[in-house]
Amino acid sequence: MNRSVSVVAFLLGLAVVVWVGAGYVGLSPLALGMTALIGAVYLTGALELLRFDRATAALQRALDTIPADLADASAWLRGLPPALRSAVRLRLEGERIGLPGPALTPYLVGLLVLLGMLGTFLGMVMTLNGAVIALETTTDLQTIRSSLAAPVKGLGVAFGTSVAGVAASAMLGLMSALCRRARLQASQVLDSRIARELRGFSGAQQRQDAFQAMQDQARTMPVLVETLQAMMAQMERQHRELHERMASEQQ
């Protein structure tokens, strides 16, 4: 479900960026370049989310296929993605640490909006410069109207970069939220596995085993002391008897 929605969101955002960029072909090289930059940033974020989702899926598969006779947790940890091994190992040891999330995507979501606004501002500046030049070069009303038509039309086109930036940011943010939710669900499954199948390797279980061993030692300590006292008394009695026998033989 999450993957299907993510694919639809990715295709929708990419379609908007391509549609806006296609409208700038042969019309505004600057706007076309800004739209291409927005598309590159969008694809970068989508690629990071793809790797993030694959790592989550690998963790989920590893959790679903834990062998019943697992004897060494390190062997199971080596089968996890490298980005998750340290965090899973710490959670297995009892540390309340969250699994890592996307590193660049939260920044790229905001950057897409800023790039769209930057493209719009640059387009508005160029449009206003064209209007000023048109007003300064002639005084004829009909000529002024004809000269202003192209800059005003370009002003409407300039807002296309904002459309591309906002659409790409919204879709990338949606995909990031879905991937984070999948990682949270995998984290909850991990906690349940630590409480059951992996309990023997958890830090809590090891501390409990150590405490139980200390309790067993505390219970056996009085018996050991009594045994040592009996041995000491026996050795003292044997030493006294040996001394008496040697004295008798000397006499």
Question: Residue 217 — pLDDT band, cuts 50, 70, 90?
Answer: low
Per-residue pLDDT at 215: 61
Quote the CA–CA distance of 85 and 76 in Å, as a whole number: 10
Per-residue pLDDT at 169: 92
Per-residue pLDDT at 136: 60
Per-residue pLDDT at 131: 55
With 70 as the cut, is the pLDDT of residue 181 above it? yes
Alpha-carbon dihedral 115, 117, 122, 125, rounded to 10 degrees? -170
What average pLDDT does this structure show over 188-215?
63
Quote the CA–CA distance of 42 and 105 in Å, as a whole number: 9
Helices then strands, each counted (H, E), the chain: 8, 0
With 80 as the cut, is the pLDDT of residue 59 above it? yes
What average pLDDT does this structure show over 156-169?
81
Question: Residue 139 — pLDDT band, cuts 50, 70, 90?
Answer: low
Could you give the angle at which helices 105-137 and 160-195 cross, rounded to 10 degrees? 180
| Cβ contacts of 126 within 8 Å, gap of 6 or more | 30, 154, 158
Per-residue pLDDT at 190: 80
Per-residue pLDDT at 90: 78
Per-residue pLDDT at 168: 92
Q: Rounded to a whole number, what is the distance in angstroms from the first to the last CA of the chain?
A: 103
| Cβ contacts of 86 within 8 Å, gap of 6 or more | none
With 80 as the cut, is the pLDDT of residue 113 above it? yes
Find the range with the poorest average confidence among 36-45, 78-87, 198-207.
Answer: 198-207
Q: Are 112 and 167 in contact (CB under 8 A)?
A: no
Greater confidence (213 vs 46) lies with 46
Burial (CB < 10 A; 0-12, 13-18, 19+), residue 222, is exposed
With 60 as the cut, is the pLDDT of residue 132 above it? no
Greater confidence (80 vs 165) lies with 165
Greater confidence (68 vs 189) lies with 189
What is the DSSP-derived secondary structure letter of residue 171?
Answer: H
With 80 as the cut, is the pLDDT of residue 171 above it? yes
Quote the CA–CA distance of 175 and 2 in Å, as a whole number: 9
* pLDDT one-digit tens code per residue, 70-96: 666 677 777 788 888 788 777 777 777
Q: What is the helix, strand, coil percentage profile of the chain, to 5?
A: 85, 0, 15
Per-residue pLDDT at 40: 93
pTM of the model as a whole: 0.70
Q: Are 6 and 53 in contact (CB under 8 A)?
A: yes
Per-residue pLDDT at 5: 87
| Cβ contacts of 47 within 8 Å, gap of 6 or more | none
**What percentage of the chain has pLDDT greater than the value 90?**
10
Residue type, 30: L
Alpha carbon distances (Å) from 227 to 44, 154, 215, 217:
73, 100, 19, 15
Per-residue pLDDT at 62: 81
